[in-house]
Amino acid sequence: MRTDTAPTPTLLEDYTPPSHELTSVYLDFDLQPSATSVRSKIDVKRLRDEPLVLNGENIDLRSVKIDGKVLKRTDYKLDQEKLVLAKTPESFVLEIETVCDPSANSTLMGLYVSGGRFCTQCEAEGFRRITYYPDRPDVMSVFTVRLEADIATYPYLLANGNKIEDGAVSDKTGRHYAIWHDPFPKPAYLFALVAGEFDVLEDSFTTMSGRHIPLEIYVDPGNASKAEYAMDALKRSMKWDEQVFGREYDLDLFMIVAVRDFNFGAMENKGLNIFNSSLLLADAASATDMNFERIESVVAHEYFHNWSGNRVTCRDWFQLCLKEGFTVFRDQEFSADQRGGAVQRIKDVRALRGRQFAEDAGPLAHPVRPNAYMKIDNFYTATIYEKGAELIRMLKTILGAERFRAGSDLYFKKMDGTAATVEQFIACFEEASGEDLTQFMRWYEQAGTPKLKVLRETISQGAHRIHFMQSTKPTPGQSEKSPVVIPIRWQIVGDNGALSEPKLTLLTGSGTSVTYPRIDEPYSVSILQDFSAPVTLETDATTDDLLRLMGADPNAFNRWEAGQTLARHLIANMAKAIETGVTPPADTALKGYCEALKKTLDDPDFNNAFKAFVLTPPASSEVMQSLEQVDPIALHEASKWLSRAIGDLLRDDLLDRYHALADTHDFRPDARSAGRRALRNRCLALLASRQDPLAATLSQTQLSESTNMTDELAALMALTRLGGQRVETTMEDFYTKWESDPLVLDKWFSVQAMRRHADGVHAIEQLTESSRYQRNNPNRVRALVGGFAMGNPELFHRIDGSGYRFFTDQVLDMDSRNPQIAARLLGAFEIWKKLDDRRQDMVRGELERVIASNPSKNVLEIAEKTLGA
């Protein structure tokens, strides 16, 4: 929807409770692709003498009744976004009939058609595209839903809760119906329905109280076998949540449906989770290890929402982190148990730094609980999710595991069936632990990433003192920052390992100091072990300190972190040299860094997955965050230089390890097998980075002989790094092999997006115009357009501005159909003030072009905030 007037922001301080209570809701759907009628019958109780405001968008209102009486047009107010009933009885039955066109709904919000099937997505504000309703999360009600459709085309009719009745419609040939009842009050954003033809994978789970729960996963015909891993992950998730959080499933049935066209990864609708098929379907031939890991994580995430999001939801959308941050923490803990703590922590921190730290450092920075928004869709961000999870992790670190569990138990008990706030959540942990967490709330209220500065000092009699200091830079709308609570895990490390026990220091003011005894041997301090707080770290650590920690830190995460820190320094220094044209002197740090990598590579105490991460330098986008201004092409070249240097110095070791890790067994998606493939393919990537002719032979052989997508795609990507005409032939062969599998074709488009095409940006543009491209499908758009902007700095940041122009054109094109996806794509420009002056001018011009185009509210909000308007 376009707007000619400036959107009015919604403010946290303006919150008022609902004026009416909806005690029960009955919905009757007559499902027709282009004209679905929706009849609602709602029992309403007035709480205050105020008008009843019902939200509605892009639907046709046919009638409104109160207690059976049809209202005249003069009895209510109606505009493009609201239906307002000025005067209502204290208690009454409200009936509304609307009609919508699901087949024309390209926004994929509300009720829409995907692959010939009906599907819904109602979070955050999609239910208003179905019928007029108080579409806010603190309006909770018990829903009963009747679905009616053609039985041949839509044999399955699904909705939330338990099915209580179904059958043929007696007076309509070829029509059938199903009635579903959800006994648990829920807000409208958790409503879901699905209708269509599917294959069904069935299983069951017995809860800790002995209840038998049927489990059903609905997929495209022929894909049931690809849902087997998701089913296994679901059962493991259900068991884990009982054991770790004491949460038992509550309904009589649990269902998941996979759809191809979906804006999100998945949605936790009560009893009927709807998944983007890319995060549910997998087998060895078509899915990578990363796909399997993501399926495991997301299935767990959406299931865990049954309590942290459904049974206890959020009072308003400003409290979004209450359900998302808590649930991300829960799925991360589950993944750590399934995949290994150190490896999972590395994955989580890499994601946090790559996405959230950039957000916090740029014009789109906002608190974990924001205080204003124009479109809530734009606040499904890394700050809400990943940083929100880090806050829960800090809470557990501060309180300890036992008191943290007591606080979560109390929260679920006290707030069950309610729409809660962050304050209520924190109050439960205060009550259970006896701790004052008032200052901890600042983490929810302040934007920006705090900087933790650490300095060492030698004092009298040779004793030592360590100083911890914190500061946070101003962010948009917040020029003044107060100290937050920072839990700091640290340890003294010598050449042969630990010289002290791990310690926990709580930094609550701007600074504090800790004294420790004299140490008569070389040592270093391992700071922020396991990344105990989401901060940037500045220390007086020397290269020798970092090399010592790389080789001797007993904390596996910090051993990896020391290498990442040294790698960031190496990349930044080389980028500066490339920009200035001054050849840097030989760097002894590079040799020491590679020797430390070899030491870890040869150490049998570390698993292969960990070694693969150790051999992976930080992304150039992460290094950019530590710099004031940089030429992105120089930074990218510096990143390639470091990978090439590792390949050069460790060539024989990498080659030996590559061959030693070959596996002749059948594919297994378990953590150990995935770790073996990860390290083997990392060795291949490093060999390819040095343009080693042998790497081309190895890649071609692996590509032709691989029996799983992990190895096949890794070989394909290695070949694209090597370049040459063979890449074009190989890419076409891969496409021909997989052209009937849309999920694999998304991977093909992603690889194309990140290639250094000889035709430059024009090659990417041609892909968007080909019949292979599906511009209405979010997965395909994210793969190509998003992959280009985030994964191809050489073309995206071309100095002639062609990359920026093409990208902006694609955002505007997407905005005409799906504003939510367009706005998320536009976030790629958030780093623009880190770029050199010439590129800043070009991006500024593109943002101004977006604003001048009269875009959707979603895109306008992102463009204006990014520009600083």
Residue at 267: amino acid letter:
M
* Number of residues that make up the chain: 869
Alpha-carbon span 846 to 808, nearest angstrom: 7
The secondary structure of 429-485 as a DSSP string is: HHHHH----TGGGHHHH--SPPEEEEEEEE-GGG-EEEEEEEE---BTTB-------
Positions annotated as catalytic residues are 302
Q: Using alpha carbons, list the distances in angstroms from residue 744 to 575, 637, 668, 783.
A: 35, 29, 19, 11
Output the furthest CA–CA distance in the chain (Å, rounded): 96
Q: Going by C-beta distance under 8 Å and a sequence separation of 6 or more, which residues neighbour residue 516?
A: 463, 464, 465, 466, 492, 500
Q: Which residue type occupies 370?
A: P
Q: In degrees rounded to 5, what are phi and psi of residue 198?
A: -145, 165
Q: ∠ CA(537), CA(540), CA(542), 5° rounding?
A: 110
Cβ atoms within 10 Å, residue 144: 19
Two structure tokens written together for 567: 């790698």
DSSP secondary structure string for all residues of 472-507: ---BTTB-------EEEEEEEEETTEESS--EEEEE
d(CA 661, CA 658): 5
- How many angstroms separate the CA atoms of 228 and 226, rounded? 6
Closest CA to 597 of 643, 539, 535: 643
How many Cβ atoms sit within 10 Å of the Cβ of residue 104? 12
Q: At what angle do helices 761-768 and 802-815 cross, to 10 degrees?
A: 20
- Count CA within 13 A, CB hemisphere, residue 506: 11
Distance (Å, whole) CA 40 – CA 63: 11
Dihedral in degrees, nearest 10, Cα atoms 787, 792, 798, 803: -10
User: What letter would DSSP give residue 666?
Assistant: P
Strands (DSSP E) along 644-725, which ranges? Answer: none
Contact present, 156 and 198 (Cβ < 8 Å): yes
| Pair type for strands 175-186 and 266-267 | unpaired
573-606 exposure pattern, b = at least 16 Cβ within 10 A, e = fewer: ebbbbbbeeeeeeeeebbebbbebbbebbeeeeb
